[in-house]
A and B are shown apart, each in its own frame.
Chain A
Amino acid sequence: MDMLGKYKTCVAARSTSSEILKSSQDGGIVTQMFIYALEEGIIDGAIVAGPGDEPWKPKPMVATTPEEILAARGTRYNISPNMAVIKESVRKYGLDKVGIVGTPCQMQALRKAQLYPVGMRYVTDKIALAMGIFCMENFSYQSMKQIVEDHCNVDLHSLKKTDIGKGKYWAYTNRGAVSQIPLKVTHKYEQPGCHVCLDYVANMGDISTGSVGSPDGWSTVFVRSTNGDNIWKKAVEAGVFEVKAIDSVKPGLDLVTKLATEKITKNQKELEHRAKMGVNKGLRNPYI
């Protein structure tokens, strides 16, 4: 199986805007891309995971200004149903060119909606830019709360950033403290639906990006579709991104491939396991 999906180019990159990088998760790729596309008229709004009602709970929103896009920076390790507002974006907001960011599953939902638009009238021809983000697994809000507040012993209100990397779950506070726990203890909090996911690097995005493979403060970027390629080239030409060849950075694509293979192999096994879950019967497999 092709672990990294189809792509035209792969680079390490980061935004050239220090304003964006100030509180972006990694290289500020998604934020920078949407702000650039908005200003260039490539999109007229973007679906992002905006701030929610509770601390670190994301809320899908249709952002039509750079300020709103900036407000959605940073990874929130719990569920944000971004596809839920896709109709709203072309109805209430009247958008013609929609940008959307999402995890691999949300990119799949988007592409499925484009090919089989059940109840998706007048939506699918208006998708202008789909930004995929790498995703190993996700958590429910309660799970994240448990991990941060109980295991990391950090109050969600003072949390500045969370990160999963180097085998650990990291929590940084506003006042400078850092705590980390081994990923092993977070496993039971994972969303069970993530265990049948066979996509790590958002194979269905126009452009996919994530932290793995590049140094801190940088992102690994896969440019996949023709549409993505055109926009990416324009953006790089306009100087909004700093770009390095992926084989010039450490740890590079090898690590990405390794993690993708791990995720896919593990979840394949889970699928096979579910097929024989009962006695002479199994659970449903959405891939067949």
Chain B
Amino acid sequence: MSKVVEISPTTRHEGHSKLVLKVNDEGIIERGDWISITPVRGLEKLCIGKTMHQAPKISSRVCGICPIAHTLAGIGAMEASIGCEIPQDAYLLRLILQCANKLHSIALHDILALPDMYIPGTETKINPFTAEEPVRTVAKRIQRLREIGQTIGEIAGGEPVHPSNPRVGGMYYNISPQAKQKLFDLAKEALPMAIAQMDFMNAVFKNFEKRETVTVGKTTVDMPKEFGYHNQGYMAVDSIFQSSSLDFDPKWDPNRWTDVTPWDWYMGECEVSLEDPDYPIGGTSKIGTKAWPQMQACTSIPLYDGQPVEVGPRARMVTFKNFDHKGAMGQNIAREMEYPDCLYTIIDALDALDCNGSVLADEIPQGDGSLGWNANEAPRGTDVHLAKVKDGRVQMYNLLVPTTWNFPTCSRALEGAPWQLAEVIVRAYDPCVSCATHMLVVDENKKIIAQKLVQ
């Protein structure tokens, strides 16, 4: 007899979401739905009619952890629609900004992921707030890595949170030779720290994966062999940066993408029949609580070739580097492996950057309403923005954000795990729920939602 347990809200990730889980008598998940319950802000709708310069600055405010992804993808989509090629030095500054943001984001996720993990070889869980070693050194290293990431982003992008420097047609300014030297020094400082951090984190994740049992609150559960495995595909457009419809050989295809409503993908109405008041901290939802993932989910379900796909660091590693570590820990390990890449790319880009180069296209067309898209490899995966610009105004704007792609995929990956570990799987996706929940379904799907609402 399967029971339903609900973890609401989930913690240690960005935004507001919950887990509705159907479990068997052993507490193993038979079917899990991980859904966003962040209120829809509807920026795709409100951007219509605004200028192409304003819309990406609005979409930046979707998320404060990865605003760079939304700014760059948004601006890239506008540039793709109007057919504007940006100068090389503007491209390099954007690349530096992108990598700086990824550096800070990975480090931030380390803090969120660590409390699930054990100090290798011990039964002690890691508390990043403790003043005791070895955790203190690690926490300090994470702080410094984030500080460096944000400082590099601040100089190359104008602001580390909601970058002000990028604009349609390039950048507002180039940086001075002095600033370039500062970035170079910071990247050099961060590189050995990032490698040490990567090694530490990967040791911790591999140790977790090999464990027989894991304790959550007062419960000890068996660690499944295939923890967080799923059979969905992967999608990535670049190992570091982006692809756009302006490219000679675009790596993403809008024709392979479709969108469905949560109605077609999630569970129907159900009632919570299992409760654990000891689930840390504050327990799970009360028995008798009604849950209705189909109706409560605040995202749409984007599909690629008719299926949900996984995006993110592992998808990039699988697509471009033949990475083959599956499961939740594989996901985490792939993320850590991106640390050095970020810094090597920053250093290379700084070498190539000409501080006297122009950073603004000579001509910025106003657009004729054709469709353009830009897919940015955000820290959490492929962030595709599609736009139509005519006479400088946005006619259509659509965001397909990494965590939106991952929501249904991750829901499938929950199967086979003890429900107490569901959040560990979710965290492996480094979810950014406010990123995911930015949308209104604006085409014919909207009618479907309306119909279901009436029923």
- Residues on A lying within 8 angstroms of B by beta carbon are 44-45, 64, 87-88, 90-96, 121-122
| Bound Cα distance A93, B173 (Å) | 10
Checking A88, A92, A122 against B151 with a beta-carbon cut-off of 8 angstroms, the contacting residue is: A122
With a cutoff of 8 Å between Cβ atoms, the chain A residues found around residue B183 in the complex are: 94
Within 8 A of A (CB), among B157-187: 158-161, 165, 173-176, 178-183
Contact A92 B154 (CB under 8 A): no
| Bound Cα distance A59, B445 (Å) | 54
| Bound Cα distance A95, B159 (Å) | 15
| Bound Cα distance A44, B177 (Å) | 13
Contact A93 B176 (CB under 8 A): yes
Contact A91 B178 (CB under 8 A): no
Within 8 A of A (CB), among B324-356: none
Choose among A45, A90, A91, A121 the residue with the greatest number of B CB atoms under 10 Å from its CB. Answer: A91
Checking B160, B161, B175, B181 against A92 with a beta-carbon cut-off of 8 angstroms, the contacting residue is: B175
Q: Chain B residue with minimal CB distance to A119? A: B159
Contact B179 A93 (CB under 8 A): yes
With a cutoff of 8 Å between Cβ atoms, the chain A residues found around residue B174 in the complex are: 92
Q: Chain B residue with minimal CB distance to A44? A: B178
With a cutoff of 8 Å between Cβ atoms, the chain A residues found around residue B173 in the complex are: 88, 92
**Nearest CB of chain B from residue A146's CB, rounded to whole Å:** 34
**Nearest CB of chain A from residue B341's CB, rounded to whole Å:** 24
We find that the number of chain B residues with CB closer than 8 angstroms to chain A is 18
Checking B158, B159, B160, B179 against A94 with a beta-carbon cut-off of 8 angstroms, the contacting residue is: B179
Checking A87, A94, A122 against B176 with a beta-carbon cut-off of 8 angstroms, the contacting residue is: A94
Interface membership of B155, Cβ < 8 A: yes
**Nearest CB of chain A from residue B154's CB, rounded to whole Å:** 6
With a cutoff of 8 Å between Cβ atoms, the chain A residues found around residue B155 in the complex are: 91-92, 94
- Residues on B lying within 8 angstroms of A by beta carbon are 151, 154-155, 158-161, 165, 173-176, 178-183
**Nearest CB of chain A from residue B151's CB, rounded to whole Å:** 7
Checking A88, A94, A121 against B178 with a beta-carbon cut-off of 8 angstroms, the contacting residue is: A94
**Nearest CB of chain B from residue A38's CB, rounded to whole Å:** 12
**Nearest CB of chain A from residue B267's CB, rounded to whole Å:** 43
| Bound Cα distance A196, B181 (Å) | 44
With a cutoff of 8 Å between Cβ atoms, the chain A residues found around residue B180 in the complex are: 94
| Bound Cα distance A95, B181 (Å) | 11
Checking A45, A64, A91, A96 against B154 with a beta-carbon cut-off of 8 angstroms, the contacting residue is: A91
With a cutoff of 8 Å between Cβ atoms, the chain A residues found around residue B179 in the complex are: 91-94
Contact A64 B178 (CB under 8 A): yes
| Bound Cα distance A137, B178 (Å) | 36
Contact B158 A91 (CB under 8 A): yes
**Nearest CB of chain A from residue B422's CB, rounded to whole Å:** 37
Given A92-B173, A94-B183, check contact A122 B178 (CB 8 Å). Answer: no
A-B contact pairs, 30 of them (CB 8 A): A44-B178, A45-B178, A64-B176, A64-B178, A88-B173, A90-B154, A91-B154, A91-B165, A91-B179, A92-B173, A92-B174, A92-B175, A92-B176, A92-B179, A93-B175, A93-B176, A93-B178, A93-B179, A94-B175, A94-B178, A94-B179, A94-B180, A95-B178, A96-B182, A121-B154, A121-B159, A121-B160, A121-B161, A122-B151, A122-B154
Choose among A45, A92, A96, A122 the residue with the greatest number of B CB atoms under 10 Å from its CB. Answer: A92
Q: Chain A residue with minimal CB distance to B165? A: A91
Q: Chain B residue with minimal CB distance to A92? A: B173
